Each structure stands twice: as structure tokens, then as C-alpha cells.
Amino acid sequence: MESATEALKVPPQSIEAEQSVLGGLLLDNQSWDRIADIITADDFYRREHRLIFHAIAALCEESSPADVVTVSEWLERSGELVTAGGLAYLGSLANNTPGASNIVAYAAIVRESSVMRELARAASDIGNAVYTPEGRSANELLDLAEKRILDISEKGHRRGEFHALNTLLSKAVDRIDELFRSKSSITGVPTGFSDLDEMTSGLQASDLIIIAGRPSMGKCLVHDSELVLDDGSVVTIEEIFRNRRRQRVGTLTKDFRLARATPSDYVDDGVKPVFEVTTRSGRRIETTLTHPFLTLTDWRPLHDLKAGDAIAVPRRLPVFGQEQLRECEVKLLAYLIGDGGLTGNTARFTNSNTRIVADFKEAVAAFGGLSLTTAERRRGFAPSWSVVSDRAQIAEHRAEFAARLDRVLDASQMSARAVAAAVGVVPASLTYWRQGKSVPDERSFTRLCDVLCVQPASSRRCFSTGCSPPMAGRPS
């Protein structure tokens, strides 16, 4: 009866804590740095949780986003999505977790349960060894028991532990200075065997200390800081990183001249306190306290500056775009700025000159995907029109694009999933394009044409209005 009761015992575990850790990571990838040195995939009790944690770890180590979609894609590529519970289970993990603020405490619970399970396994193995010694003496069994328990303890101690750089450097320099001043060739603990001591300089400390600095130390702009590219477009640091394209951004040379340079790398430096700096002219930037600013004398970090200090800012950036506007776009900009309004829910145009109104209507028609509605007429006031999207025209164009895309995909030798992966989108996006529910943005459309070996026709009008971009036929 007692053996049957033992068999029914459930190993120590906390499914809720495991789900909270995984859900917190899916909601906030920045939390990975807080728990990476606390738990590993082997610490999870349920196999599906080990698979999901392994997928999140792989994505975070590649500096890739780890959310429900990307994790499910990773698991599907490795053939483990069904075993891990499927997309529905991943969604429930994210939806049922309120946040990642307590993720460290949840990780500690998962780790403690893992240690308890390892102790239970070790105790069971030791008990089996005692009942079936197989010729081993009591001392040998005692050594086995001691080794199993120490292995569990050492496993926890071997986990990476972070220390302040100045503390490690101070200890390392002191040790180097001690070895330099020592006149003996034995720098460790002598063993009493001359030949061995000569080869090893004695028994050395077992700690392996790696002194390193994160690549982004001192480079401390927030991810949504805006940069001006060569073509004059303004993008955020995160957008450049996500698009994985080498872009030239502004930099300051040694002779204090503005130049263009290509960033060598982008590194996520985790969660840190940032401060908003506002200049007298109204410009704003968010940085950490270590970010350097050019003053009248030298470069100084933010924590050394005070209100009223003068810092250098560029008066202008010598960039000019290469992209030309269509005539209808130029006209619409001019009319809406000169005789229109752009502050309401829709753009409005007001004018009583019949020739100007006719020209404005022609520009709207040429723009594509737009229509005009007449605003309420008031006596003594010039007539007004609101510019709104033409949903019927957009739906028609999207349906045309979906039909063209289906024809090109049918003629292609690639599967829809392979096309989506090559374009850099999830398969669901390609499905929506084929159903006419949405269309790709300009960058995705260009990649799609490259992957399918088709020539895009003039597409600027369509990306401006959200209708379907034209796709020429497959070349012979």
C-alpha cells in the first residue's frame, strides 16, 4: 500500500509560476536579461514549457522579437509547435499573464521547484543504490550520495552571476600585482610534487572570471530616437534595426563637421532609466545619464550638465531626397495647405473659383483611392469639400491585386509559406493579401516582386492611398 502511495506522489512543481514566466517573456522581451541567469529550459516541469522557453531563448539571443507569432513560427520550423500546445496555448499564456513586473519572483519559484525535483531524484537513486549495492562498499555509496547532492548545489552556483565592472577590475588588478611582486614560481597552492608544481605553478583558484563590457555601454539613445537618413527620410533606430538594412546616418567628425556613416551594430542594452533633455529651441531627446553632449569646452555626459548649459545642435542637415512627387500630389499639397484644412478628422478644401475647384478635383481623381464629399453649404461662405477614402475603389483594387498575386503564386515553384519567409512576413499576411483584406507596404511589395521574379509597375500612387499596387506579369 505504501509503495502505491509513493507512486502517486506528484513531483514538486508550480505550473502557474512556469506559465507566468513564459507569459511575461512573451509580453516583454526585455525581461529576458532579468531571468536568464536564474533558470534554464531544464528547470521547467512540463515538456511544452521547456520547448517554449527554449524557443524564446533562441530568439532573444538572436536579438529577434519573441512574441506569440514569432515563437510559434520558430516552433513550427523545428517541428515542435503541436507538442508545445499550438498557437492557441501560446496565446493563452500571453493573455492570462497580467505583466512581467514579478517575473523574477516567478522564475525563483520555478528554480526552487526544479531543485526539489532534483533532490527527490537523487534521494531515490541513492535509496536504490543502497538496496542494490552491486558490490559497492558503504564508503563508496556514501561518496556517491555526497556527489549527487553536491552536483545539485554546484549546478546552481555555476549559473552566471553579474558583478560590477569596477569591482572585478579592482580584484583582477590586485591579483596581477600580487603575482608580479611574487618571487616564487608557485603562484597557487603547492601540491608537494615538484614536477607537477613546475607544470601547473600549484593548484589555482577554480573561478573562471570573464571581464567584459556590453557593446552598447555609453551609447545610450532610446529605441524610438529619430535619425535622418541620406534621402532625408526620418526613421527611428528600431525601424532601421528591424529592417536589417545598412543605412547611413549623421555623425560628427573630429573636426566638428557633419558627415554620413554606417552604424556598425545595434545592441539592446536592456531597461535603464532615461531622461528627456529639452533645449531652448524646443528640441527634445531621451538619453541615459552617460550619454555625451558636445559643450563649449568638450564632450560631457548628461549627469555633468545642468539647466542653462550650452550644448551643440545642428542648424541644418545637408540631405535631399531622391524621390519625386507626382503632379497631382504637388497640387494637392499646395491646395490643402493654401485653401484647405488638415487639423480635422479629414482633409478639407474651401474655394469658390470654378477653375481652381475643377483642377483640385482632377488632382484628387489622379491621386487614386480618394473621393470628395460636399460639406454643408452656408450662405455667404465659399463651398467646402472633404477628402475621404474611396472604400469601393480600394476594395476593387485590392481584389485585382489578390487575383494577380494568385496567378503569379500558381505559376511559381515556391509554396506560400516559403514565399512569406523569403519576403520576411508571417504566412497570415500573405493569406490576407490573397484574400484582398490588405496589401503589402512598399518595402514588402518590392521584396515580393523580387522573390516572385516579377516587375512592379508604377506603385507610388497605390502605397499613398492604401489600394493595391500593380504587379506586372511574369517575364518570359
Average pLDDT of every residue of the chain: 79
Of the candidate CATH numbers 3.30.390.50, 1.10.10.10, 3.40.50.10600, 1.10.260.40, the domain formed by 392-465 belongs to 1.10.260.40
Question: Can you tell me the mean pLDDT for 197-215?
Answer: 60
Task: Parse the chain into domains and list their residue ranges.
Answer: 2-126, 165-200, 226-304, 327-389, 392-465
For residue range 207-240, list pLDDT tens digits in order.
Answer: 555 444 444 444 567 777 777 777 777 788 777 7
Q: Give pLDDT, residue 151.
A: 79
Could you tell me the pLDDT band of residue 188, with boundaries at 50, 70 and 90?
confident
What fold, for 226-304? Answer: Endonuclease - Pi-scei; Chain A, domain 1 (2.170.16)
Per-residue model confidence (pLDDT) at position 448: 87
- Evaluate the CA torsion angle 43, 45, 47, 49 in order and state its sign: negative
Q: What pLDDT sits at residue 322?
A: 62
Residue 190 pLDDT exceeds 50: yes
With 60 as the cut, is the pLDDT of residue 464 above it?
Answer: no
Count the neighbouring beta carbons within 10 Å of the beta carbon of residue 263.
Answer: 15
Count of alpha carbons within 13 angstroms of residue 194, beta-carbon side? 0
pLDDT at residue 418 in the model: 87
Of 16-20, 193-197, 214-218, 268-272, which has the strongest mean pLDDT? 16-20
Digit-coded pLDDT (tens) for 433-456: 888 888 888 888 888 888 888 877
The tens digit of pLDDT for each residue in 79-128 reads 999 999 999 999 999 888 888 889 999 999 999 999 999 998 888 889 88
| pLDDT at res. 75 | 93
Q: For 2-126, which CATH superfamily applies?
A: DNAb Helicase; Chain A (1.10.860.10)
What is residue 90's predicted lDDT score, i.e. its pLDDT? 92
pLDDT value of position 19: 93
| 327-389 CATH | 3.10.28
